[in-house]
């Protein structure tokens, strides 16, 4: 079997990215809640920089006030961001909204001296099903810093919250 250069083409292997999204699903539907995880790329834990973490959180909240999305819970950890959110009507698909957010926050990081991508290329998402409790998803998100031993009380974590009211 021939040895292949990992930086070159692999003619006998069809390399495809694993499909992470549901086929034929409307990711712009404001009636769905998405549990999303964005993972950081730059130096592993860029959000240990408190000023960058504050700006990234403020950008998230600004997009709530601009009515791009409803964020039922968020928690920015040193190396990732958890969100429970729904797109606002007519604002586009989840991927489009997240791409804009990741792009803008990457530029914020560059202004602070970081280089290269701030976030990993893709993201993880889970469509919350009717039988799942949004309250439990939000609790899971908000308890992240406690589970990681960063704080003893979730209310003490400065980069988390529930900016949008839960749907009735």
The pTM (predicted TM-score) of the whole model is: 0.82
What is the share, in percent, of the chain residues with pLDDT greater than 90?
64
Whether 14 maps to a domain, the answer reads no
Domain count, the chain: 1
Residue 42's alpha-carbon distances to 46, 103, 113, 165, 168, in angstroms, are 6, 14, 11, 32, 38
**Domain encompassing residue 126:** 34-161
User: What's the pLDDT at 13?
Assistant: 38
Question: Radius of gyration (Cα) for the chain, nearest Å?
Answer: 18
**Residue-wise pLDDT tens digits, 57-93:** 999 999 999 999 999 999 999 999 999 999 999 999 9
Domain contains 138: yes
| CATH number of the domain that residue 151 is part of | 3.30.70.1290
84 part of a folded domain: yes
In a domain, 93, yes or no: yes
Asked whether residue 50 is assigned to any structural domain, the reply reads: yes
Confirm whether 6 is domain-assigned.
no
Please state the φ and ψ torsions of residue 136, each to the nearest 5 degrees.
-65, -40
Is position 106 within any domain?
yes
CA–CA distances in Å: residue 97 to residues 23, 52, 79, 89: 18, 20, 20, 12
């Amino acid at each position: 079997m021939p040895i292949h250069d990992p930086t070159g083409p692999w003619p006998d292997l069809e390399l495809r990215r694993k499909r992470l999204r549901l086929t034929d699903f409307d990711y712009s539907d404001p009636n769905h809640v998405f549990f999303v995880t964005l993972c950081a790329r730059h130096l592993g834990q860029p959000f240990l920089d408190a000023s960058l973490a504050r700006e990234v959180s403020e950008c998230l909240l600004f997009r709530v006030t601009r009515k791009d999305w409803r964020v039922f819970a968020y928690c920015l950890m040193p190396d990732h961001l958890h969100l429970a959110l729904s797109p606002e009507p007519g604002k586009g698909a989840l991927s489009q909204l997240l791409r804009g957010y990741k792009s803008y926050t990457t530029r914020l990081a560059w202004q602070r001296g970081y280089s290269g991508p701030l976030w990993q290329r893709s993201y993880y998402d889970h469509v919350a099903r009717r039988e799942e409790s949004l309250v439990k998803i939000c609790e899971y998100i908000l308890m992240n810093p406690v589970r990681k031993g960063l704080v003893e009380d979730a209310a003490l974590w400065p980069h988390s919250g529930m900016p949008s009211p839960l749907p009735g």
